[in-house]
Amino acid sequence: MKGVDTTARIRREFSIRGKTINEIVRALHVSRNTVRKMLRSGATLFECQRKVQLQPKIG
């Protein structure tokens, strides 16, 4: 889960400071697809939600 602070920093680096996506990826250690998704969408919080909760394997 990426927090609001990470999203804000990515958007700030891209729009105000004019950094490229690859420079942001190297600086913040997030994937390129994550940076692209955060720049394109208007959402502030990104979470992964599972449709089915996995059961633990016993034995």
CATH number where 35 lies: 1.10.10
**Tokens coding 57:** 């394997």
Contacts of 1 (CB under 8 A, 6+ apart): 45, 46, 47, 48
Contacts of 39 (CB under 8 A, 6+ apart): 10, 11, 14, 21
**Rounded average pLDDT over 42-59:** 74
Q: Write out the residue range of the structural domain in which residue 55 sits.
A: 1-59
Q: Determine the Cα angle at 18 with ends 13 and 24, to 5°.
A: 45
**Tokens coding 59:** 């034995």
pLDDT in tens, 20-33: 999 999 999 999 99
- Number of residues assigned to the chain: 59
pTM of the predicted model as reported, rounded to 2 decimal places? 0.66
Please name the residue that has the structure tokens 């490229």: 20
Q: Is the pLDDT of residue 3 over 90?
A: no
- How many domains are contained in the chain? 1
